Structure 1
Amino acid sequence: MGLLDFLFGSNTKKIEDFKKRDAVILDVRTQKEYDAGAISGSKHIPLNDVSSKISEIKQWNKPVITCCASGVRSGNAAKTLNNNSIEAINGGGWKSLEKKL
């Protein structure tokens, strides 16, 4: 168990559950970061645009796993989505999440 898992709890089981329910991977990094590498099939909405895209995200009608570079921005995005009645979890850094998928 890594330090971050100890502090914040491992979300591997939640990710597996969301994956079984055909969750959407939402990358909230900047366009430049996303263009440099991303999880295949992921959707991209920079964190600053998430709030204005809530109605679009709701239309996906699927749970959402957010990701970014380290997990901080994706944590903020997941909280914003949850506060708007969208089932979402923070998948953390995209490279780490990719390994869990």
Structure 2
Amino acid sequence: MSEIPTVSVDEIPDDALVVDVREHDEFAAGHAPGAIHLPMGDVPARLDEVPITDESLPVICRTGSRSGRTVQWLVMQGFDVVNVDGGMQAWKRQGKAMAAEGDGEPTVL
């Protein structure tokens, strides 16, 4: 298996377009403000929803495991994507902007 292209959280602007592959409850609890929600299990059926960008598209999950597998698969499909090292846990640790659905304080489940 080839290396998974990876980017660190501090290299991503707070408002960057990212694809979040966590489940709905995780995404609703807290996500990057510029995130597109596309659960990992839905990616193959919703491939047309993966944005095509001028730069590598960051893919994120809770810790980097699910997004790593998703990035690996998307690269094989010809997409220019990178795994966010440490996922949303690292995002939160870095104090980066977060949004949540509803009135609750954004958090990482």
Same fold (TM over 0.5): yes
- Deviations for 1:26-66, whole angstroms, at most 9, x for unmatched residues? 11000000001111111110000011111221xx2213111
Is the contact between residue 40 and residue 70 of structure 2 (CA under 8 Å) also seen in structure 1? yes
Residue number among 5, 30, 40 corresponding to 1:37 in the alignment: 30
Q: Which amino acid aligns with 2:90?
A: S
Structure scoring higher RCO (CA < 8 A, sep ≥ 6) equals 2
SS in 1 for 2:70: helix
Q: Among all aligned residue pairs of Structure 1 and Structure 2, give the percentage whose two residues are the same amino acid.
A: 26
The match for 2:61 is 68
Normalised to the residue count of structure 1, the TM-score between the two structures is: 0.70
More helix by share: 1
Task: Let me know the Cα RMSD of the aligned residues.
Answer: 2.8
- Deviations for 1:58-95, whole angstroms, at most 9, x for unmatched residues? xx221311111111000011111111111011003113
Q: Which amino acid aligns with 2:47?
A: I
Greater than 4 Å deviation, 4+ residue runs: none
Gaps of 5+ in 1: 1-7
Residue number among 75, 80, 89 corresponding to 1:82 in the alignment: 75
Gaps of 5+ in 2: 97-109
Task: Figure out how many residues of one structure are paired with residues of the other and give that number.
Answer: 87
